[in-house]
Amino acid sequence: MSGRGLILGIESSCDETAAAVVERGARTLSSVVASQIATHAKYGGVVPELASREHLRAIVPVVRASLAEAGVTLGDLDAIAVTSGPGLAGALLVGITYAKALAFAQGLPLIAVNHLEGHIHAVLLQERELPEREKRDGSSIQFSQVSESRPGAPSSPDTELSLALVVSGGHTHLYLAQPLNGTWKYTLVGRTLDDAAGEAFDKVAKLLGLGYPGGPWIDALARFGDPRAVPFSFAQFKAKVHLGGKAPRTKGSVTAPIAALDPHFLFSFSGIKTAVLRYVELHHLRPEAEARREALFTGPDAPARPTIEEALATCDPTTLDLIASFQHAVVGDLMKKTFAAAEALDAERILVTGGVAANRELRERFTVEAARRGIRVAFPTLALSTDNAAMIAAAAWPRFVAGEFAPPDLTADPSLALGCAGAGPVRAAT
């Protein structure tokens, strides 16, 4: 143990094997991510058995690389943190078993971290690192990723009541995050009833013959189409009575009942997916999509790593308009409900995190809207938006300080929920 507050984070909940060393939840010494995209791409989505096998292969070299990159040894660590859920059971177990063995062998405390809390801490880590970096570099660094819409320096990332939109391939959740005696209290205030936003990006991309994961392809191609060409709309949920208090099932998890949630903060992305499918049928875009898939990914002459330019060359204006309109509609819906929740719950700022937070249109429009409404919004860097282990090590820091360690029989919880569900507000004297 170095006493420097060094935590090794391990993340294996889905299709990325990641390890990172973070000092006191505020300084990333290393962050290594081994992506399994190449393994799953040919199946158009994550295959759980393959994910577990790839994690088994990658975990030892990835942890070694993270220690080497940080310039530390196992003996320097003060704790080990691992994602315990939500996620794929077999994938989670690889990380948990390895972290447990390492903690036991080194006599170190083990800290269990909820993957969604990790995503929230990706933004907080980024914010904590800014003043550190400014001190180190002796100059003011660009505030490009954490965008400040209000004038003046940001206050401490750990004191503000925040509305967090966690938007990824498995989740579209709104949490009120409240700092409380050095740790954080989370209240689930909104969520998707069916598909996650990232899942919709992936399914639409697959339908159009684009690669996996779909988000980055849609993001890159959307700029070439007209976002207003296809007028997609979203249902507004009006009464709690429709929802029946059932726990909706989404890709990776079953989470808290939604009866307690304000219907204005509920999302649904299965409808737009079906609307895109109908549009594709109506405009006879299927043959073009199949030809695209073959030219870019499955055919004998498909390039090893197709570029955006190559993909663009296979898209006619109708397809590009459809892509742009789909993205515009999804981002618009995320924005509308997130800002409404932030205002209703009196949040001091908005945090947007998870893989979809890497989306360019999302970042631009959230930033413009935040400036218009006079509320601050922050995003992680692109590398911290998608799955990584630095966010897990950062989320573990307050638990380390509070002495909240995992029991020896810690196991994977594929549907682990974060915080309690409720309409808020949870504003209270801290």
Q: Is 211 in the site for ligand KG4 (CB under 6 A)?
A: no
Q: Is 202 in the site for ligand KG4 (CB under 6 A)?
A: yes
Measured CA to CA, the distance from residue 354 to residue 386 in angstroms comes to 6
Q: Is 387 in the site for Zn ion (CB under 5 A)?
A: yes
Q: State which of positions 330-389 bind ligand KG4 (CB under 6 A).
A: 354-356, 358-359, 386-387
Instruction: Copy the structure tokens of residue 422.
Output: 């409720």
Identify which of residues 354 and 419 has a Cβ nearer to ligand KG4 in the complex. Answer: 354
**Residue 201 CB, nearest distance to Zn ion (Å)?**
14
Among 6, 14, 350, 392, binds ligand KG4 (CB under 6 A): 14
Q: Is 213 in the site for ligand KG4 (CB under 6 A)?
A: yes
Percent of residues in the chain assigned helix, strand, coil, to nearest 5: 45, 15, 40
Among 28, 145, 168, 172, binds Zn ion (CB under 5 A): 168
Full strand arrangement of the beta sheet holding 16-23: 27-35, 16-23, 6-11, 79-85, 110-114
Identify which of residues 33 and 77 has a Cβ nearer to ligand KG4 in the complex. Answer: 33
Among 209, 215, 225, 424, binds ligand KG4 (CB under 6 A): 215
Nearest to 340 by CA among 263, 242, 269, 276: 263
Cβ–Cβ contacts within 10 Å for residue 42, how many?
11
Identify which of residues 27 and 121 has a Cβ nearer to Zn ion in the complex. Answer: 121
**Residue 382 CB, nearest distance to ligand KG4 (Å)?**
8
What per-residue string of b and e applies to 17-37 under the rule 16 or more CB within 10 Å gives b?
bbbbbbbbbbbbbbbbbbbbe
Q: How many CA atoms lie within 13 A of 388 on its CB side?
A: 28
Cβ–Cβ contacts within 10 Å for residue 220, how many?
17
Q: Quick one: which segment of 132-140, 212-220, 269-277, 303-311 binds ligand KG4 (CB under 6 A)? A: 212-220
Q: Quick one: which segment of 197-205, 225-233, 298-306, 334-342 binds ligand KG4 (CB under 6 A)? A: 197-205
3-state secondary structure of 18: strand
Q: Is 170 in the site for ligand KG4 (CB under 6 A)?
A: yes
Identify which of residues 168 and 325 has a Cβ nearer to Zn ion in the complex. Answer: 168
Q: Is 85 in the site for ligand KG4 (CB under 6 A)?
A: no
Measured CA to CA, the distance from residue 425 to residue 30 in angstroms comes to 37
Number of residues that bind ligand KG4 (CB under 6 A): 19
DSSP-derived secondary structure letter, 26: T
Judged by the rule CB under 6 A, the positions of this chain that interact with ligand KG4 are 14, 168-170, 198, 201-202, 213-216, 219, 354-356, 358-359, 386-387
